[in-house]
Structure 1
Amino acid sequence: MFKRILMIMLLALAPLAVQAQEVYEAGKDYDIINPAIRASDMSKIETAEFFWYGCGHCYTFEPMLAQWKKTLADDVSFRGVPAMWGGAMELHAKAFYAARALDVAEKMDQAMFQALNVDRKPLRSDKEIAQLFVANGVAEEDFYKAYNSFGVSSQVRQANSIARAAKITGTPALMVSGKYMISPRKAGSTANMLKIADYLIEKERAAKGS
């Protein structure tokens, strides 16, 4: 009787074991970045999102990503990296870093996504972006001081260099430890991108532990 009960329990747990052992494959589910990109904080497992405020997929992915970030362990860091392929994208990247310099990142991220995807405002000039910041409580003088600062310009150049090194072809895209690139095309969906990111974070954690 004991053996019979044990067999029933093992059969019941089998699907959970298969799920726990789910493995994603390089080249099929995600890509290897070669050469790898050095992380800004080598003491952490760095994850990064390449995005653009005007990308509709990034806009719909944002709430899901925000919830996922809350689940990250202390040994994992996260940063956003604005993508730039010409047009107004460099201005939007400057706005991203200016918002962080002014400590209004969360408010202005929402405002930028809203303006470009819902309100259909192209934000193709410094003046239009300044007006959006002012409408959200930032003094115009403070905005331009941050927006045109050397620090913001340096961060924009660095973001462009990282995106080129990572060879991103679209947004949103996730990078883990500067080694792995996850795209919606290979992942199958933005939700699956986060599952693959979790898998790769655990892979990096195991490697660090060894």
Structure 2
Amino acid sequence: MVDYVLNAKARNEVGKGASRRLRRLAQEIPGIVYGGQQAPEIIALAENELHHALENEAFYSHIITLNTDGKSQDVILKDVQRHPAKPVILHVDFMRVSKTQKLTTRVPLHFINEESCVGVKLEGGIIAHSMTDLEIECLPGDLPEYIEVDMEQLSVGDNLHISDLSLPQGVESVALQHGEDHDLPVAAVNKKKGEEVDEEAAAEGTGEAAQPSAEAGEAEGGDSED
């Protein structure tokens, strides 16, 4: 498992104007660290270093060592605010974590064996994803980088729910903690739309073909009575 380390420095100026100057003049990204027994800290991080870290998917669900002016603390990334029209990071939020206290975060889902899925390879279906990540609760030491979702044995018409996932030891789904009603679908194997239309048309055609036969039988019965 990769160890992620970020360097930051404390900042004193706050507000939109100060944040804009920080990004434009110093090529730094404003951020905040909160959680635990300590007061929130406002920080600044080097733009290039942060961009490089954010390119790795595991960074979003990993314990990060954050060094701020010589002080080290364990954190997780909680939020990244991006510009709606430009590839610019506006602000980042980090939350402190304790080795002995459970944390809640989201981790990505990795779907495997989709090409060899029974419903796709043998039955011509298509896979539909309802989720791309899952909210979990665990101790920091048990935090997975991702959760695998094995699609191999699913047939057309099958649905995979949160309760069907194989979660690592010590990891719980936050949704399932609220009861069975929150056992949401994760993925499914569906028929192709064209095939559904063809089957419906075939069924309608069979029904129409059967109806004249029945009417013909009634007509024949009527003639025999005469």
Name the TM-score, length of structure 1 as normaliser. 0.26
More strand by share: 2
More helix by share: 1
Structure with more contact order per residue of length (Cα contacts < 8 Å, sep ≥ 6): 1
Name the TM-score, length of structure 2 as normaliser. 0.25
Between Structure 1 and Structure 2, whose CA radius of gyration is higher? 2
